[in-house]
Structure 1
Amino acid sequence: MDMVELAMDAISDYGYWALGVSLVILAPEALMPFAGFLAHEGLLNLWLSILAGSLGGTLGSALIYLLARRAGEGRMRDLVRRHGRWVLVRESDLDRVLGVYARRGDWIVAGGRMIPTVRSLVSIPAGLLPMPWGRFLGLTFLGTFAWNSFLGGAGYALGAHWSALKPYLGVYGALMMAIVLLVLGIFVIRRLLEQGIKGQ
């Protein structure tokens, strides 16, 4: 039995608390459609499920934010200066990322909650800047609530067929991962080419 199945059993037995705690560490795509199904069956309230899941997801993101904030921009810059060449990251890359966050951070923090993999990563530059704590929590909750509403609502609408949503979410997650890997691949190739030119 994997963690998702254990979480589903816990949600069936303990309801909203188990849902919120599970979504501190697990992806909402794995559990919110199931919570929507339970709401369809009258075992949970849909909106309370969405609220519990969103609070749990926000807490998980907040923990990553706090770790990044504790590390601080200075420590991160020092790490990049000393070891960045091994992962092809320069201090100018960190400047670029933080610059984008300074200009578009609100949109990225809220919208990133709907993208697998990215959802955890967006908390790091937000913590390094740092984005004000209250704004970070508000935007994170807003984006998480919107995505959980879609997932929970879809599970509710599908009823007993909620698991039919899984293949579509799998394709969506795979597509987002492919885009992230493509961008990362382009970055690595460009950086290797730059280093090759400088080495000649």
Structure 2
Amino acid sequence: MNPLVDQAIEDYGYWALGLFLILLAPEALMPFAGFLAHEGLLSLWWAILAGSLGGTLGSTLIYLLARRVGELRVRTLLRQRGRWLLMGEQDLDRVLTLYARHGAWIVAGGRLVPTLRSLVSIPAGLLPMPLMRFIGLTWLGTLVWNTVLALGGYLLGAQWRLLEPYLGLYGSLAFVLVLAVVGFYLLRRLAERPG
């Protein structure tokens, strides 16, 4: 944790927590917010609400950016530079088809997985998933995860830092899994390229 961020949350409370969670991972802040609630400096439920609003806003900004870029521009990029990106339009079609079928689960569930948390907003914006549906699903997943993290900090009290190694391990495993999937995809694409 960054001492300046900690101090800002202690000094400015819910506003600082919400603003920081637009950009930062909840694993870095919500257990600390739970600890502050344990100490009586914040309300647990208001902290969860503020953190969830910030996280939802951050994801929505990524969604809106993807929506602004649009599928047509992405397809044009893939036609022009797809060979170098090791991705073609058919790959985009697969992702969008998967999203069309399971988008609700991916958006809500993706909030629980570091690395994926931000990435799931991109295909949702390209598809595009309706904005209010996206916000609702993002809010739901973010609220669940922030509640788990804040409750952990609240229940552990002054020992809230005991969560850090487990959250770090969880984040590392999620990152390695995402990296392995991307690596497998890239290797397969390289093997398919004509010599």
Does the pair score TM above 0.5?
yes
Equivalence for 2:29: 31
Please give the residue correspondences for 1:108-119 in structure 2 after superposition, counting only pairs within 5 Å.
Answer: 108-119=106-117
**DSSP 3-state at the match of 1:93:** helix
2:182 corresponds to which residue?
A: 184
Question: TM-score with structure 2 length normalisation?
Answer: 0.98
**2:115 equivalent to 1:153:** no
- Quote the residue 2:128 is aligned against: 130
Q: Percent identity?
A: 67
Following TM superposition, where does structure 1 have runs of at least 4 consecutive aligned residues deviating by more than 6 angstroms?
Answer: none
Partner amino acid, structure 2, of 1:19: L
Q: Distance between the aligned counterparts of 2:132 and 2:6, measured in 1? A: 31
Q: Residue 191 of structure 2: which of 170, 193, 197 is its match?
A: 193
Q: CA–CA distance in 2 between the matches of 1:41 and 1:24?
A: 25
The corresponding residue for 1:94 is 92
AA paired with 1:119? R
**Per-residue deviation, residues 6-62 of structure 1 (Å, max 9, x unmatched):** 221110001000000000000000000000000000000000000000000000000
Can you list the C-alpha shifts for 1:152-196, whole angstroms capped at 9, x where unaligned? Answer: 00000000000110000000000001100111111111111111x
Distance across 1 between alignment mates of 2:49 and 2:156: 20
Give yes or no for the alignment of 1:11 onto 2:9: yes
- SS of the aligned residue for 1:89 comes to coil
Query: What is the number of equivalent residue pairs in this alignment?
Result: 195
Q: Secondary structure at the match of 1:114?
A: coil
Map of 1:144 onto structure 2: 142
Residue among 159, 169, 172 paired with 2:170: 172
Q: What per-residue deviation string (whole Å, max 9, x for no partner) do you get for residues 98-130 of structure 1?
A: 000000000000000011110000000000010
RMSD: 0.8
**Which amino acid is 2:59 matched to?**
S
Alpha-carbon offset, residue 5 of structure 1: 2.7
Match of 2:41 in 1: 43
Structure 2 segments unaligned to the other structure (5+ residues) = none
Q: Which residue of 1 aligns with 2:71?
A: 73
2:86 pairs with 1:83: no
Consecutive unaligned residues of structure 1, counting only runs of 5 or more, are none
1:141: Cα distance to partner?
0.3
d(CA) in 2 for partners of 1:161 and 1:84? Answer: 49
Aligned mates of 1:105, 1:68 — CA distance in 2 = 15
Which amino acid is the alignment partner of residue 53 of structure 1? G
Q: Tell me how far apart the structure 1 counterparts of residues 4 and 105 of structure 2 sit (CA, whole Å).
A: 34
| Paired letter, 2:147 | S
Which residue identity does 1:87 align to in structure 2?
A: L
